[in-house]
Amino acid sequence: MLRLTLYDVRRNEAREISLRFVSVRGSPHVLYAATAPPDWATQAKESSFIHWSIGSREVLGTARLVDNSTELRDEVLSLYESIVGPDTVRRWFGSEIGCIAFDESPEAVPYYRAVEAMFDESAPKYDRAVLTNPFDLHLRAVALESLRNLYRPGDRIIELGCGTGLESIPLAEAGIQVVALDISSGMLNELERKAETAGVRDRIETYRVPISKMGEIVSDLGPHSFDGAFSHFGALNCEPHLDRIPPVLRRLVKPAARISLGVWNRTCLSEMLWYGLAMRPGRALARLQSSVPVGRSRFGVPVFPHSPGEVERMFSPFFSWERTVGISVGVPPYDFGRRFVSHPKFVSFLKACDRTIRGVPFLRCLGDYFLLELRAR
């Protein structure tokens, strides 16, 4: 069996699919019914890279359609039939059979390229995935409330990992000037389109750049020219060298400027509980690792969880701590959102519980995310 992990852009989460395969010239080959191609086959062919595992071996590579009828009949189909029999193959796949081959990349896919590809693919459907998920909406509401308390009309702030502008645009509508950075041109295109529609395009300046390389554009952005900065919901967790960010960010903001960091937490009590009850211990305890591989989180790339203490220590030479707020301490992680859509009263109850406990010492460090508010030294 081959376990294929794909990023589901409609649900904004990774999903794992188990597939039977045969190996031909070292590459796994998987058959499917060509009259009704499964979603995974279409998505795999369209993705710039894919991730799969066989046993304990993790692989990154690409998928290709096997459209040579001789290769399909003489090499792949004959091998399937020798293992399970011709009748079983016809019963599984019908009379018209398609085939996907998985080719391992000769070199590892560069991490930032993988992040860029994932978000480019997600961009057109990203907002819909967020706006139809009650727990994702809860994350955004808490974060936006915090930002509105930190910044005022006329402030100039920078956002690291802006996505489609779910926070940038409301801030711009409130009279705040936003410089928005993102690794994904697809996300930036969506943000710019939405900003134009909202009539705030003149208040949002965009740059396509990874957070790790923002030091290269400090002179363009203006040293010590920002009244604040923020980065929420995954952008910092997609940065393998987070310790390089604080000195660059300090060069950009003014003395005493306030910043807000929304980080995917290392210890999520509700995730441990819900996935524990679902008898999925690998997922329940995945965040305790220094990096979480594809298939063990909702993300379509490996990510790096952090605790509030870890991030505070990393930033402390340049920023002083002001406040920590837990998000989704009393609410399940947002990958459970669709299971609760039909229970709005229960969701409201969970959100009310979360509002009550998210600032409580110790408990605030156990949410799905945490907000860390700091001030420039």
**Helix or strand (DSSP H, E) at 12:** none
235 shares a domain with 89: no
Please give the DSSP secondary-structure letter assigned to residue 34: T
323 shares a domain with 273: yes
Say which CATH number the domain at 344 has: 3.40.50.150
244 shares a domain with 105: no
User: Is the separation of the CB atoms in 6 and 40 below 8 Å?
Assistant: yes
Boundary residue ending a domain (81, 109, 137): 109
Which position has the higher pLDDT, 318 or 62? 318
Q: Hey, what are 267's tokens?
A: 């210890």
Per-range mean pLDDT, top range of 57-61, 114-118, 322-326 = 322-326
290 shares a domain with 342: yes
344 shares a domain with 236: yes
Q: Hey, what are 193's tokens?
A: 């389109």
Say which CATH number the domain at 25 has: 2.30.110.10
State the chain's maximal CA–CA distance in angstroms: 74
Environment class of 232 (CB within 10 Å of its CB; exposed 0-12, middle 13-18, buried 19+): buried
**pTM listed for this prediction:** 0.78
Question: What is the per-residue pLDDT for 106?
Answer: 58
Q: Residue 10: is its pLDDT beyond 70?
A: no
**Residue range 173-178: average pLDDT?**
97
96 shares a domain with 125: no
* Number of domains the chain contains: 2
Environment class of 96 (CB within 10 Å of its CB; exposed 0-12, middle 13-18, buried 19+): exposed
User: Is the separation of the CB atoms in 282 and 53 below 8 Å?
Assistant: no
pLDDT tens track for 70-93: 888 889 999 999 999 999 999 999
Please give the DSSP secondary-structure letter assigned to residue 360: S
175 shares a domain with 29: no
213 shares a domain with 153: yes
279 shares a domain with 206: yes
pLDDT tens track for 316-350: 999 999 999 998 888 877 777 777 777 888 888 88
Nearest to 97 by CA among 37, 22, 40: 37
Question: Containing domain of residue 182, as a range?
Answer: 112-376
120 shares a domain with 76: no
Question: What is the per-residue pLDDT for 229?
Answer: 97
Question: In angstroms, how far is CA 113 from the centroid of its own chain?
Answer: 14
95 shares a domain with 32: yes
Which position has the higher pLDDT, 127 or 11? 127
Question: What is the per-residue pLDDT for 9?
Answer: 60
